[in-house]
Amino acid sequence: MAFSNLDQPVQFLKGVGPKRADALARMGIGSARDLLYHIPRRYDDASTITPIANLAVGVEVTVIGRVRSKGVIPTRTGLRIFQAVLEDDSGIITASWPGQPWLDRKLTKGDVLLASGPVKFFHGRQIQPREFITLSKDEDSEMGGRVFVSYPASEEVPQWILRRIFESNLNKLLKWVPDDEYMSERERQELGLPNLDEALSLIHRPGNLADAERGRRRLAFDELFHLQIVQAQARRKATELGPGISHQRSNEFIRPLHEALPFELTKAQAQVLSEIYADMQLDRRMNRLLQGDVGAGKTIVALFAMLLAAEGGYQSALMAPTEILAEQHLRQIHSLLQPLGVNVVLLTGSLKGQKRDQALKAIESGSGQVIIGTHALIQDSVSFQNLGLLIVDEQHRFGVRQRMALLKRQSNRPDLLVMSATPIPRSLAMAFYGDLDLSILDELPPGRKPVKTELRVPEQRESVYKFVRTQIKEGRQAYLVYPLVSESDKLDLLAATEEFERLKLEVFPGSRLGLLHGQLPASEKDLTMSAFARGDLDLLVATTVVEVGIDVPNASVMLIENAERFGLSQLHQLRGRVGRGPAKSHCILIVEPEGRASERLNIFRDSTDGFEIARADLRMRGQGDFFGSQQHGRDPILRFSDLIADEDLLVLAQKTARKIISVDPNLEHIDHKRLSELIESRYQDRLAMFGVG
């Protein structure tokens, strides 16, 4: 890639020596470009700043004030508190920093601070700043039209240093930005976005808050667009390069299954099926994501799709994330297909000896028409006679690589349908699965009894246990779920294990309890789960491993401890485990009654719509957290965009990207040279993940 001045190490910028460069590197800033894209975390102007006289106790505020006096006060507990009296035209207030006596050396009388934090009452009103910046001494006098920017800072590189680095370098950096511009003037105007250099200038030195937002939208578009380009390439590679299978529909199996079903398909199921049929009949590979809420009836949809493949003489495979789920699918599907004379085969890892040989033979000879299995289907020893359709259930449990591995080995180009029971907002699906076409099951079959959801505090635990005992007495079963933040979080695991002992000995003596968590060997998990499914256990004490797909209609209680620690979508998955049988079902959340958690949980209690819950979850937790920290970590793909606020940009980005890739798939045109270079340098690893490049 052509070298740009922006690629040079920050170390060579004014005011950054080798030592500071190291500190910046620890914040993820290595090059001049990284610095330029280190954008302010917040903006303050006259509209966000409160005159000191108007500060009300209990409110989060931002103030600007001059330090009138200051000092460290000791307390009886040994805690040392730095205090400064801040003054503006309207009045004075004490600012207090408990435990930070060293600030006494940093601040001097006359300094002008911009500080934000809560106002408390403590011998009078005082503000306890969570963060502050020191403005230059004359800044407060020209408050009028000014906007103050605060950058994400670190202990090593505090706010004032960052601001100074920008002050001495921003003009120069901005001059280099046109090197990075990848859009033509005409394209840019069609999209209604500012130049890249204008955008970055607006971001770092906005004249007003609307300017800053205009600049941000340009960066947001860029990152969404680049990701969509990568996905449009993957989509083209998957669907358009080379012919796919054009499945032939005869209705030989589809019609009798319709007649045999004990229920009507929902409107959503019929709609989604017509999308899938149409796609499968095209001479192009299907690459489709089917999203549906828990219990929306995805399995039946999958089954019809598999029958379409069978009618034209093709095999199909349904891959589930666990053996229990594979067996569950098998039971449901086998009973429906046996009367039609369609041959169903199961292949899982625990299948051994003669049974396994038989299954492999049926897959290889083509006598197995519908194949249901687990990861075992991916192994090299499995060779299909003519796989025409692969369906991946609960797709977030599999990597893209795994489904690619299976597809690559086939001599033809089978259609792909991935199914997900984690309803994610359309915008999120577009951003992260832009390579897939989207079908959505947004309707539950009629007659479902809603699960009654209740919030309880820990003090009410005994009465909750009592309720669970009466349910067990009536022959029902219950799940008790404990949080497990990540696999390595031993503390939480201990909680589930310890609780299991306590519950067994003290709370439910005489009942049959099982323990299920992620660190047990797979075989033991399967044993426990099948025992619960058979009704040989009354109570299942578990972590979130019960979240996915399991169907035990006799279970009527889902009791979740520390519910505030779960995402709403995760809670929704858990709640979906009950309410599957004739009995009235209950989801009881035990919650530490603190903070904002209960606002989230109230939304969950009052809604049964997985998509609505997912949107609320995304809004309240932010997209970084949405998938859990493990998946995106500290380097989120999307830094500047907000998938709720920027949905219009996302739609625009996808449309633009698909249009470009349809005419210039490898970005070889001279107009796309810079775009191609930028994407290659920024998304190298993602390109591999999407199977492009």
The one of ligand ADP, Mg ion, none whose footprint includes residue 373, by CB under 5 to 8 A per kind, is: none
Structure tokens, 51: 């005159």
Q: How far is the CB of 639 from ligand ADP (least distance, A)?
A: 34
Nearer residue to ligand ADP within complex by CB, 232 or 301: 301
Nearer residue to ligand ADP within complex by CB, 366 or 445: 445
Quick one: which of 488, 323, 498 has its CA closest to 480? Answer: 498
Q: How far is the CB of 553 from ligand ADP (least distance, A)?
A: 8
Nearer residue to ligand ADP within complex by CB, 187 or 264: 264
The one of Mg ion, ligand ADP, none whose footprint includes residue 263, by CB under 5 to 8 A per kind, is: ligand ADP
Q: CA-based angle 225:393:395, to the nearest 5?
A: 30
| Structural contact between residues 428 and 626, judged by C-beta atoms closer than 8 angstroms | yes
The one of ligand ADP, Mg ion, none whose footprint includes residue 279, by CB under 5 to 8 A per kind, is: none
Give every CB contact of residue 91 below 8 A, 6+ residues apart in sequence: 51, 52, 53
* CA 604 to each of CA 37, 304, 442, 447, 614: distance values in angstroms, whole numbers, following the listed order: 37, 33, 17, 21, 10
Q: How far is the CB of 294 from ligand ADP (least distance, A)?
A: 5
Q: Name the burial class of residue 238, with classes exposed (0-12), middle (13-18) and buried (19+) by CB atoms within 10 angstroms of its CB.
A: buried
Q: How far is the CB of 292 from ligand ADP (least distance, A)?
A: 5
**Cβ count within 10 A of residue 248:** 13
The one of ligand ADP, Mg ion, none whose footprint includes residue 12, by CB under 5 to 8 A per kind, is: none
Nearer residue to Mg ion within complex by CB, 268 or 650: 268
**Cβ count within 10 A of residue 91:** 14
Question: According to CB under 5 A, which residues from 350 to 369 bind Mg ion?
Answer: none
Beta bridge partners of 456: 590
Q: How far is the CB of 303 from Mg ion (least distance, A)?
A: 11
The one of ligand ADP, Mg ion, none whose footprint includes residue 445, by CB under 5 to 8 A per kind, is: ligand ADP
Nearer residue to ligand ADP within complex by CB, 288 or 298: 298
Q: How far is the CB of 298 from Mg ion (least distance, A)?
A: 5
Nearer residue to ligand ADP within complex by CB, 298 or 575: 298
The one of Mg ion, ligand ADP, none whose footprint includes residue 266, by CB under 5 to 8 A per kind, is: ligand ADP
The one of ligand ADP, Mg ion, none whose footprint includes residue 296, by CB under 5 to 8 A per kind, is: ligand ADP
The one of Mg ion, ligand ADP, none whose footprint includes residue 495, by CB under 5 to 8 A per kind, is: none
Helices 522-534 and 323-337, packing angle to 10 deg: 50
Question: CA-CA distance, 641 to 217, in Å (whole number)?
Answer: 7
Question: CA-CA distance, 554 to 577, in Å (whole number)?
Answer: 10
Look at residue 410 and give its three-state secondary structure: coil
* Terminal-residue alpha carbon distance, the chain: 16
Nearer residue to Mg ion within complex by CB, 229 or 305: 305
Q: How far is the CB of 359 from Mg ion (least distance, A)?
A: 22
Give every CB contact of residue 9 below 8 A, 6+ residues apart in sequence: 21, 30, 31, 32
Beta bridge partners of 290: 419, 439
Q: How far is the CB of 426 from ligand ADP (least distance, A)?
A: 18
Question: According to CB under 5 A, which residues from 293 to 322 bind Mg ion?
Answer: 298
Please identify, among the stretches 177-185, 273-281, 292-300, 610-618, the one whose residues bind Mg ion according to the rule CB under 5 A: 292-300
Nearer residue to Mg ion within complex by CB, 169 or 420: 420
Nearer residue to ligand ADP within complex by CB, 206 or 549: 549
Residue count, binding to Mg ion (CB under 5 A): 2
Q: How far is the CB of 569 from Mg ion (least distance, A)?
A: 16
Beta bridge partners of 131: 116
Question: CA-CA distance, 540 to 262, in Å (whole number)?
Answer: 31
Question: According to CB under 5 A, which residues from 534 to 563 bind Mg ion?
Answer: 549
Give the interface with ligand ADP as residue ranges (CB under 6 A).
263-266, 269, 292, 294-300, 421, 445, 551
Question: CA-CA distance, 147 to 207, in Å (whole number)?
Answer: 7
Q: How far is the CB of 259 from Mg ion (least distance, A)?
A: 23
Nearer residue to ligand ADP within complex by CB, 99 or 447: 447
Query: How big is the chain by its Cα radius of gyration, in Å?
Result: 30
Do you know the residue count of the chain? 693
**In what helix (H) or strand (E) does residue 268 lie, and over which residues does it extend?**
helix 267-281
Question: CA-CA distance, 29 to 651, in Å (whole number)?
Answer: 30
Point out which residues bind Mg ion (CB under 5 A).
298, 549
